[in-house]
Amino acid sequence: MTLSTPGPTLGVVGGGQLGRMLAEAAAPLGVEVVVADPTPDAPAAPVARDQVVGDFDDPDAIRELAAQSDYLTFEIELADPDLLESVAEEFDVPVHPDPDTLRTIEDKLVQKRRLRDAGVPVPRFRAVDTVDDVRAAGDELGYPLMLKARTGGYDGRGNVPVESPDEAAGALDAVGGDAMVEEFVDYERELAVMACQGSAEHRSADRSSGRRGGEAASNGTAKPSRGPREEGETDAFPVTETIHREEILRETVSPARADETVRERAREVALDVLDALEGRGVFGVELFQAGESRSDSTHSSGRGSQDADDEILLNEIAPRPHNSGHWTIEGCHTSQFEQHVRAVTGRPLGDTGRRAPTVSTNILGDVEARQDATLRGEKAVFERPRAHLHWYGKREVYRLRKMGHVTLVGEEGADRPYLLDSVRELRDGLTFEG
């Protein structure tokens, strides 16, 4: 592998904040980025080399993107897997993760079935088409249930809790399309792991050298990473605790405030997820640490019995970098965005070790009406040592829209509740109100 200018071009379907941060991470590696997005002057446009304006499933736009690219990836599940497969063949450009993985993940029912069949522990779920189906699932799984749109939902959109049989019809109407239900998990906390799948070319060198990943890298012990898969090297970033309100991520805490046994189990489940998916890249794996065991939810991952309070269940997967991993930009030796660029362009994976305890919080719109975005109160963030503000470059703000994030990196051994209180204080000082 050599470096020259201009370097290889990575085409990204999607030009939102994830595309922006991918472009920021790609530049030091000598990789140029072109994005395709329907919004003119999308958030990624100022830092990418170019933007193709067009819908995520627009054949002309994606063909133009492929014609400019040496590699293709996507930062949004609205990309069309059939179209990606077609342009990859037409322009002889590799796409990662594999479009078949996108097909699996974009339909939550297909996703859950694939992972259950692969032995990944998942909550109990059922396909539903009618109100009677929802009520029958409630009789079987118990109330409350979580009704989910099979496609298109994110940040809580498309998820509707069903508390009783009387709510089934309204919930199904609210979803407005193909749906599934899951049992409502009584969880202790939510966790996330950014799992990484790299190139088979580098699988031997990295594991035989004893490089450490995940929890092993964060506590100084020389625990080896899991062995290489046939498809390529794998690794995972340290397990992170995620805190949601209104089903939108608000804060992350790393290391998660769970014991080491729970964190290691979560990491193993995330790596098991990779066994069921194809292609290179970073995968955001969202998990529950359940508060009690469930008779029909544990499909063995080959790790034997487990304590009820330590049961790890898969929630959902994103075949891309994820909001839960933004803290890695300052908190780890390699960010999730650099790792994704490394993986999809065939470079060796970077060190996933955590530098120090790290917390992060989203900056969300706090205004009711859509308006031009002007953030106020940011001076305190810039004045705080080890605090880092990330602005996504969105021109308009509205309630709960993700506009940026703040990360706070502690000293080694720092108190996580104190860090979390501190980053919340910084966030609460920010506003879009005039």
Is 364 part of any domain? yes
CATH of residue 227's domain is: 3.30.470.20
Same structural domain for residues 242 and 389? no
Is 179 part of any domain? yes
Q: What is the dihedral of CA 274, 108, 336, 38, to 10 degrees?
A: 140
* HSE (side-chain half, CA atoms, 13 Å) at 398: 2
pLDDT at res. 158: 84
Q: Residue 430 — pLDDT band, cuts 50, 70, 90?
A: very high
pLDDT at res. 363: 98
- Residue 203 tokens read as 């699988």
What are the φ and ψ backbone dihedral angles of 232, each rounded to 5 degrees? Answer: 155, 180
Same structural domain for residues 229 and 179? no
pLDDT at res. 376: 98
pLDDT at res. 152: 79
Q: Residue 326: is its pLDDT beyond 80?
A: yes
CATH of residue 135's domain is: 3.30.1490.20
What would the pLDDT profile of 265-301 be if each residue is shown by its tens digit? 999 999 999 999 999 999 999 999 997 655 444 443 3
- Residue 429 tokens read as 């000082």
Same structural domain for residues 375 and 410? yes
Same structural domain for residues 211 and 302? yes
Same structural domain for residues 198 and 284? yes
Average pLDDT, whole number, for the chain?
90
Classify residue 356 by its DSSP letter. Answer: S
State how far the Cα of 202 lies from the Cα of 345, in Å rounded to an integer.
Answer: 12
Picking from 183, 207, 226, the residue at the C-terminal end of a domain is 183
| Arithmetic mean of pLDDT, 146-151 | 93
Q: Residue 51: is its pLDDT beyond 80?
A: yes
Which pTM value belongs to this model? Answer: 0.90
Is 372 part of any domain? yes
| Arithmetic mean of pLDDT, 313-336 | 97
Same structural domain for residues 209 and 279? yes
pLDDT at res. 14: 98
| Arithmetic mean of pLDDT, 42-64 | 98
Picking from 95, 110, 139, the residue at the C-terminal end of a domain is 95
Same structural domain for residues 234 and 262? yes
Neighbours of 290 (CB within 10 A): 23
Count how many domains the chain has.
4
Classify residue 332 by its DSSP letter. Answer: B
Is 112 part of any domain? no
Q: Residue 303: is its pLDDT beyond 90?
A: no
Same structural domain for residues 13 and 133? no
Same structural domain for residues 258 and 406? no
Same structural domain for residues 200 and 70? no
Same structural domain for residues 174 and 194? no
pLDDT at res. 215: 59
Dihedral (CA of 261, 266, 267, 268) sign: positive
| Arithmetic mean of pLDDT, 119-130 | 96
* Helices and strands per DSSP (H, E), number in the chain: 14, 19
Is 169 part of any domain? yes
pLDDT at res. 423: 98
Q: Residue 310 — pLDDT band, cuts 50, 70, 90?
A: low
Picking from 140, 159, 183, the residue at the C-terminal end of a domain is 183
- Listed range (3-7, 112-116, 229-233) with the worst mean pLDDT: 229-233
| Arithmetic mean of pLDDT, 25-46 | 98
pLDDT at res. 1: 73
Q: Residue 434 — pLDDT band, cuts 50, 70, 90?
A: confident
Residue 158, Cβ density class (10 Å: 0-12 exposed, 13-18 middle, ≥19 buried) = buried
| Arithmetic mean of pLDDT, 161-185 | 94
The secondary element (H helix, E strand) that includes residue 60 is: helix 59-67
Range of the domain at 228: 187-344
| pLDDT above 70 as % of the chain | 88
Same structural domain for residues 208 and 133? no
Q: Residue 230 — pLDDT band, cuts 50, 70, 90?
A: very low
Is 338 part of any domain? yes
